[in-house]
Amino acid sequence: MSIRTDLAVEAKELYEKENSKKIQGVEVSSTKKGKIKITNVKVLTEQGERAIGKPKGTYITIDMPKMIHYDVDAMDDVSEVLGEELSKLIKLEDSMTALVVGLGNWNITPDALGPKVVSKIMITRHLKELVPDSIDERIRPVCALAPGVLGITGMETSEIIKGVVNKIKPNLIICIDALASRKMERVNSTIQIGTTGISPGSGVGNRRMEISEKTLGIPVIAIGVPTVVDAATMANDTIDMVLDEMIRSSEQGGKFYDMLKSIDKGEKQKMIQEILHPYVGNLMVTPKEVDMVIDSISKIIANGINISLQPALDKDDINKFLQ
């Protein structure tokens, strides 16, 4: 069973755990800003690509503090950190246009992150064109799109985006999408920024056409938050914890101890998937408070994007514009 994760930092951790060695061709560095941890994973070589299953590029992971969704000041702190990290990747002049794309199905809460973020973006492209004398010349033209999903529109998301790109010719695309995590503790508490684009639906095993610089001809920055975890992965982790506890409490050298130590984890994972699939299919799990969480995360990400795309404005000016 392949362990499903969209996070580069988790793929790196999983590889090192299974192989008991560092990955060649991958550089990792970490910093902290207050309670916020930032991990930078750079995939530099094809060997690194194969090891963690991610294309060459930069993946920045921001771990949000616990209980952040109940703390407005902490939300602002994460937005500012996100804005700073995005600003390092955005190479635009003030006159250049940015297109923000919110991927996902707005009818399904764990998948509605992208459209919710788009609804909170500072949209200025039409103002720069229609009333240029009435708007601050430092404001960058920004437009946004929530293209829906194939099941709603009958069109591949990448086809819609490509048509818009060909028409308005933006200089940068920022995509927001919901992801899948390997660990439950990372669900709704981690933001990943990637420079290699994104494949809509990959988090739930429904990979669509890629949205990247290779397919669209302009830089694509992907922002994702894991909102679900695979049920089979959760079951496997739970059984692993039970087995580890039984091994610790068993007498070394005994038959029961030897039997527990001899269990093949790879075979166990495969068996769990085969048992669960006929009953629940590819079941994905999300926390019960997902409605409130998605709403607060969408505010965090939208504020971070607004800060990075409008460097001439401070947070108060952006908030006034959005009121």
Domain residue limits, the chain? 60-226+289-322, 234-280
**Ramachandran region, residue 148 (left: φ > 0; alpha: ψ -120 to 50; beta: rest):** left
* Residues paired with 211 in a beta bridge: 198
Contact 101, 176 (CB under 8 A): yes
Q: What is the pLDDT of residue 256?
A: 67
pTM of the model: 0.85
Each residue's pLDDT tens digit, 202-240: 544 555 678 999 999 999 999 999 999 887 777 877 887
Multiple choice CATH, 60-226+289-322, 3.40.50.1450, 3.30.1120.80, 3.60.10.10, 1.10.10.10: 3.40.50.1450
Structure tokens at 43: 């995939």
Count of Cβ atoms closer than 10 Å to residue 261 Cβ: 11
| Residue closest to 205 by CA, chosen among 225, 227, 179, 226 | 179
| Residue closest to 191 by CA, chosen among 297, 289, 56 | 297
For residue 47, give Cα distances in angstroms to 57, 73, 272: 13, 42, 30
**Rounded CA separation 297/287 (Å):** 14
Contact 26, 44 (CB under 8 A): yes
**Rounded CA separation 128/259 (Å):** 70
**Rounded CA separation 182/96 (Å):** 37
Q: What is the pLDDT of residue 4?
A: 64
Q: What is the pLDDT of residue 173?
A: 97
Residue ranges of the chain with per-residue pLDDT less than 70:
1-4, 200-208, 251-254, 256-258, 260-261, 265-266, 280-281, 323
Q: What is the pLDDT of residue 235?
A: 80
